[in-house]
Amino acid sequence: MDEFEEILQDFLVESFELIEQLDQDLVELESRPDDLELLNRIFRVAHTIKGASSFLNFDVLTHLTHHMENLLNMARHGDLVIDADVMDVILESIDLMKALLVRIRDSGKDGGIEISACVERLDAVANGTALGETVPAPVDVAVPKAAPEPVIAVAIAEEEPDYSGMSEAEVEAEIERLIAVRQAEDAAKRAHKAPSAPVAEEEEPDYSGMSEAEVEAEIERLIAVRQAEDAAKRAQKSAEPEAPKTAPVSVSTPQTVPAPVKVASAPRKVEPKEEGESRGGATVEQTIRVDVKRLDHLMNLIGELVLGKNRLIKINDDVEERYEGEAFLEELNQVVSIVSLVTTDLQIAVMKTRMLPIGKVFNKFPRMIRDLSRELNKKIELEITGEETELDKSIVEEIGDPLVHIIRNSCDHGIETPDIRLAAGKEETGTIHLKAYHEGNHIVIQIIDDGKGLDADMLKQKSIEKGVVTEKEADAMSEKEAFGLIFRPGFSTASQVTSVSGRGVGMDVVKTNIEKLNGMIDIDSEVGKGTSMKLKIPLTLAIIQALLVGVQEEYYAIPLASVLETVRISKDEIYTVESRSVMRLRDEVLSLVHIGDIFEVERVFDNSEHAYVVVLGLAESKIGLIVDSLVGQEEIVIKSLGEYLKGIEGIAGATIRGDGGVTLIVDVAALMQMAKSVKSTVGQESAEAKGRSGVKNKPSDYTVMIVDDSKTDRTIMRKSLEPLGITLVEATDGVEALNVLKQGDYIFDAMLVDIEMPRMDGYSLAAEIKKYNKYKNLPLIAVTSRTGKADRMRGVESGMVEYITKPYSPEYLMNVVKRNIKFNEGL
Amino acid sequence: MSEKLQQIINKQHRALSGDDTKIDEVIQLVGFIVGDEEFSVPILSIQEIIKPISWTRVPQTPAYILGVFNLRGSVIPLIDLRSRFGLETMKHTEETRFIVMKNGDDVAGFVIDRLTEAIRLPKRDVGPAPDTINEAESMIDGVGKQADRIITILKVGKLLERNF
């Protein structure tokens, strides 16, 4: 079988390659109908496919290609002129051939596609009949026409030695006839119809009522019949010069007589069905199977495109800022928005190609429920809604196991036995409702049972017994947290281990798998009424929405799917309970952790009295993550950190940002684990920061940077400030200034910035500097000859604190600088 | 005449085979300085050499892993060879380079102080690593001797191996 499979694969690959070439050749042929080389090539394709398919027992395909071959052979020998009509028929047959090959690839069989009409047309063309007349019974056509065209018959006889000898033709006709008769009988048996002509005609109205198998059988029968008829016809035709022998053919195969008769009515009969078939055929051609690898590759490419788009948008923003009001901006804007729009659409389109209906997973549950209810002696009914809801293939694959565990759990622990249910005044039959629907960028799968519900106190008790939690912990738990206990490893409420449950593993698997998908679990339950479990899962995994947060000078991306909300709080709102930071969030107590503690970020300054808290929710747990700043929401493409850095705790991967930099993606599940063991340092950093800011003892402890491209200007500034005795550092443009700043050799107290400079101007420099939290409060003083109000406004926007216009007096400059660096205050 | 021809053919043959053995015996290395020493790696294990670009720190890693950087869409780890070799870290200078090395699918960037040159070294001039170094743990593949200096040849596979 494997060997056959291998041959089949080779055959398919070869055939599809040939057909690809065929299409091009045929188009060429239409313009150069006399090109023998081309014709030979096309002929060989039909011949090759015919040979291979007959070897592989694809009778329908063999049959079709055989007739094509005939026709092409005639054209090759100059007995037939290829005109548009003939070409139509050839193309039609090639389309059919393709459809057959696709069918073979998909199902391993070549049935189910109606070819007799096409074969008839092929034959008709071969016989020189006008196309319009093909519908009437071909038998009448074949016999009279064959005589005036002995050339054709001879040509066929020469090419097909099989038919040149009468006996062989007879044998083949006989074989085909027998096959036809048997198939016809089979079909008839199934259809409870006798294979005779009048009955066949009576069959006509029944097609709509036929089952698929019946229709299939009927088609097969018709094909077989046609084959038999064709064979007989061929035999007749080749026998034409030897007229006496024609009779034996029909005599020795007496049943061929009814067969052609039956077939004569076949075309008419087939017509209504053909419509149905062609509809079926069309759907076959509208879907193609694509290797998942290709889709993955496509998805990767789209990922790159999304990154490029992000980058383009960023550049556009920068350019917009710098060249405000210029005419080309509008055009650029348009292009950027079109690219961004198309990229988004493309992304959605590709994502959709990866979507599968969740029904694929749901389908196995009815059977499971039936088995389980018998095993547990319960009466359980499963209701499924929303099985057509689609989600990413990779998620469909991952979601199966968790659902199995949840449903088993519902059956085992949720639904009560019939007598208990009756005693409780419920219906005897318990119901489990499986529901799937979209909610924003998520799919929600809900499993609702009307069983006994979860008892928070009982859960706590059991957990303490099993040593999952301590008594103290249990006391502090809210109802929801108690429900969450069922997901703890080692937890089980079943008093004994059964084959269905009780090992305390299943629900733990659920949680791990859902977390892996960045999903959330929400449990609602009422004792005696039932339990509802809600799984909220993002639609796709490769490209996600993320919240970008900043801590000191670092940025991290948090999957938005895990972000419940963000709040800005004052530091007074953070309380410490048993060396853990917590805050009140409405009526909940939320434990807090600083992102800097998780990721070992060195905290050199404390910027404000306020903090941002990102409330993270994953599966059923929640935590507040303190960050320094919220940057915004962005679409990110998840990239792996590679073999060398894989498995770093708390990091799920990396993404490339619009500016080309790498930003790490937070693994929320791991972060929550880490948060448990991290000692809180929230609120401690301010003391440290104060110590670091440095004490100024002498004037030279103050450092000011002068950024100007003109040597003269720099000298003027230097001369003006030298009397103060402070340290002065010079830079010739924005880029250099930024480098000096980054090197960190000096701690600057202020910067004097010229606006018009090569490479990077003053506004851009200011904007760049302000990106660093460290320099947020560094006073930037613009020194420029631009005096317009708009310029001043831009200066303020980009973060300049003072705006000195050239020319200025040395005293004025000195005073401004003194004021900004708080000169003398510390001395 | 034919004798002469034969001689020429033989000569050519000798010359050719002689060349072959010569090529076989030469290894090509790229030399660079880290700290005070000159090191080298086989030229074929180098994917590219770039000027320093910005990188992103990765938490929970040893100090010698500076982080990751973006090399045309791929996220690649960056390793500081100075601290990898237990030397004091130094600010990047104009001459600092990132050498991106690969070994199979493993790729990483290494920060070096400066490049020296591409070196062609006859194989016979390459000696084994000093005995005092534990063979399995050693990052040294061998020592190349040149007229005026010795060059340590590093094992790229070892450099790219995660050891934390």
Is A37 catalytic? The answer is no
Query: For position B79, what pLDDT does the model report?
Result: 92
- Regarding predicted confidence, which is higher, A274 or A758? A758
Residue among A599, A642, A650 minimizing CB distance to B77: A642
Residues A320 and A396 in one domain: no
Is A30 catalytic? The answer is no
Selected for mutation to probe chain B from A648, A662, A664 (highest B CB count within 10 Å) is A662
Domain containing residue A485: 360-538
Query: For position A161, what pLDDT does the model report?
Result: 42
pLDDT tens digits along A565-579: 999 888 888 887 777
Does the beta-carbon distance from B70 to A660 stay under 8 Å?
Answer: yes
Q: What's the pLDDT band for A664 if we cut at 50, 70, 90?
A: very high
Domain of A305, CATH number, reads 1.10.287
The pTM of the full predicted model, rounded to 2 decimals, is 0.47
Span of A67-76, A678-687, B82-91 with lowest mean pLDDT: A678-687
Residues A328 and A367 in one domain: no
Q: How open is the CA angle A304-A309-A311, to the nearest 5 degrees?
A: 95
β-sheet with A703-707: strand ranges across: A727-731, A703-707, A750-753, A780-784, A802-805
Residues A397 and A532 in one domain: yes
**Res. A204: pLDDT tops 50:** no
Among candidate residues B88, B45, B39, the one with its CA nearest the CA of residue B64? B88
Residues of B in contact with A651 (CB under 8 A): 58-60
pLDDT tens digits along A286-337: 777 788 788 878 887 888 788 888 888 888 888 888 887 788 888 888 999 9
**Res. A558: pLDDT tops 60:** yes
The answer to whether A97 touches A49, Cβ cutoff 8 Å, is: yes
Query: For position A696, what pLDDT does the model report?
Result: 65
B89 part of contact set with chain A, CB < 8 Å: no
pLDDT tens digits along A788-803: 777 777 777 777 888 8
Q: What's the pLDDT band for A370 if we cut at 50, 70, 90?
A: confident
Is A192 catalytic? The answer is no
Residues A403 and A326 in one domain: no
Q: Considering A337, A353, A369, which residue would you say is the last residue of a domain? A: A353
Does the beta-carbon distance from A639 to B91 stay under 8 Å?
Answer: no
Query: For position B108, what pLDDT does the model report?
Result: 92
Name the active-site residue from A70, A316, A409, A518: A409
Name the active-site residue from A63, A66, A67, A69: A69
Measured between alpha carbons, how far is residue A175 from residues A222, A229, A249, A355, A607 in Å?
Answer: 16, 12, 13, 48, 93
Domain of A66, CATH number, reads 1.20.120.160
Residues A378 and A523 in one domain: yes
A659 part of contact set with chain B, CB < 8 Å: no
d(CA A823, CA A724): 9
Residues A127 and A215 in one domain: no
B107 part of contact set with chain A, CB < 8 Å: yes
A230, part of any domain: yes
Residue of A nearest to B71 (CA): A660
Residues A220 and A82 in one domain: no
Selected for mutation to probe chain B from A644, A659, A739, A740 (highest B CB count within 10 Å) is A644
A473, part of any domain: yes
The answer to whether A149 touches A135, Cβ cutoff 8 Å, is: no
ipTM of this model? 0.78
pLDDT tens digits along A489-521: 777 665 555 555 545 556 777 888 887 777 778
Domains and CATH numbers, chain B: 26-159 (2.40.50.180)
pLDDT tens digits along A726-738: 888 888 888 888 8
A827, part of any domain: no
Span of A89-98, A273-282, A514-523, A530-539 with lowest mean pLDDT: A273-282
The predicted model gives A197-203 an average pLDDT of: 42
The answer to whether A515 touches A561, Cβ cutoff 8 Å, is: no
- Regarding predicted confidence, which is higher, A149 or A167? A167
pLDDT tens digits along A108-157: 777 777 777 778 887 787 776 544 433 333 333 333 333 343 333 333 33
Span of A49-53, A398-402, A531-535, A666-670 with lowest mean pLDDT: A49-53
Question: What whole-number percentage of chain A has pLDDT above 70?
Answer: 73
Residues A285 and A297 in one domain: no
With a CB-CB cutoff of 8 Å, which residues 551-590 of chain A face chain B? 554
A650 part of contact set with chain B, CB < 8 Å: yes
Residue among A601, A643, A648 minimizing CB distance to B106: A643
Q: What is the DSSP letter of B65?
A: E
A21, part of any domain: yes
Q: Considering A522, A538, A554, which residue would you say is the last residue of a domain? A: A538
**Res. A476: pLDDT tops 60:** yes
Domain of A595, CATH number, reads 2.40.50.180
Residues A9 and A112 in one domain: yes
Question: What whole-number percentage of chain B has pLDDT above 70?
Answer: 88
d(CA A509, CA A399): 11
Residues A699 and A670 in one domain: no
The predicted model gives A575-595 an average pLDDT of: 82
**Res. A15: pLDDT tops 90:** no
Q: What's the pLDDT band for B161 if we cut at 50, 70, 90?
A: confident
Q: What is the DSSP letter of B125?
A: G
With a CB-CB cutoff of 8 Å, which residues 265-284 of chain A face chain B? none
Residue of B nearest to A598 (CA): B59
Mean pLDDT computed over every residue of chain A:
74
| Cα of A662 to nearest chain B Cα, Å | 6
Output the six-digit token pair for B128: 């084994």
| Cα of B31 to nearest chain A Cα, Å | 24
The predicted model gives A70-83 an average pLDDT of: 76
Does the beta-carbon distance from A661 to B162 stay under 8 Å?
Answer: no
Query: For position B9, what pLDDT does the model report?
Result: 78
Q: What's the pLDDT band for A217 if we cut at 50, 70, 90?
A: low
Does the beta-carbon distance from B60 to A743 stay under 8 Å?
Answer: no
Query: For position A164, what pLDDT does the model report?
Result: 43
- Regarding predicted confidence, which is higher, A164 or B91? B91
Does the beta-carbon distance from B59 to A651 stay under 8 Å?
Answer: yes
Span of A821-825, B59-63, B104-108 with lowest mean pLDDT: A821-825
| Cα of A464 to nearest chain B Cα, Å | 34
The answer to whether A267 touches A120, Cβ cutoff 8 Å, is: yes
Does the beta-carbon distance from B60 to A600 stay under 8 Å?
Answer: yes
pLDDT tens digits along B7-24: 877 777 776 665 555 555
**Res. B109: pLDDT tops 90:** yes
Mean pLDDT computed over every residue of chain B:
83
A412, part of any domain: yes
Would you tell me the crossing angle of helices A84-107 and A116-126 to the nearest 10 degrees?
Answer: 150
**Res. A350: pLDDT tops 90:** no
Does the beta-carbon distance from A664 to B76 stay under 8 Å?
Answer: no
| Cα of A516 to nearest chain B Cα, Å | 21
The predicted model gives A618-623 an average pLDDT of: 79
Percent helix, strand, coil in chain B, to 5, is 25, 45, 35
Query: For position A177, what pLDDT does the model report?
Result: 64
pLDDT tens digits along B24-44: 578 899 999 998 888 999 999
Does the beta-carbon distance from B162 to A644 stay under 8 Å?
Answer: yes
The predicted model gives B115-121 an average pLDDT of: 88
Residues A302 and A268 in one domain: no
A328 part of contact set with chain B, CB < 8 Å: no
A142, part of any domain: no
A310 part of contact set with chain B, CB < 8 Å: no
Residues of A in contact with B101 (CB under 8 A): none
HEC letters along A228-296: HHHHHHHHHHHCHHHHHHHHHHHHHCHHHCHHHHHHHHHHHHHHHHHHHHHHHHHHHHHCCCCCHHHHH
Does the beta-carbon distance from B61 to A649 stay under 8 Å?
Answer: no
The predicted model gives A586-612 an average pLDDT of: 78
Residue type, A446: Q
Domain of A736, CATH number, reads 3.40.50.2300
Long-range CB pairs of A489-495, under 8 A, 24+ apart, other chains included: A490/A466, A491/A462, A491/A463, A491/A466, A492/A462, A492/A466, A493/A413, A493/A458, A493/A459, A493/A462, A494/A412, A494/A413
Does the beta-carbon distance from A648 to B74 stay under 8 Å?
Answer: no
Residue of B nearest to A665 (CA): B58
| Cα of B107 to nearest chain A Cα, Å | 8
Residues of A in contact with B58 (CB under 8 A): 641, 645, 648, 651, 664
Residues A803 and A656 in one domain: no
A797, part of any domain: yes
Total domains present in chain A: 6
Q: Considering A83, A103, A134, which residue would you say is the last residue of a domain? A: A134
Query: For position A151, what pLDDT does the model report?
Result: 39
The partner residues of B99 in beta bridges, in order of sequence, read B49, B110
Q: What count of residues does chain B have?
A: 164
Span of A38-52, A407-421, A618-632 with lowest mean pLDDT: A38-52
> What does residue A504 show for φ and ψ, rounded to 5 degrees?
70, 30
| Cα of A663 to nearest chain B Cα, Å | 7
A826, part of any domain: no
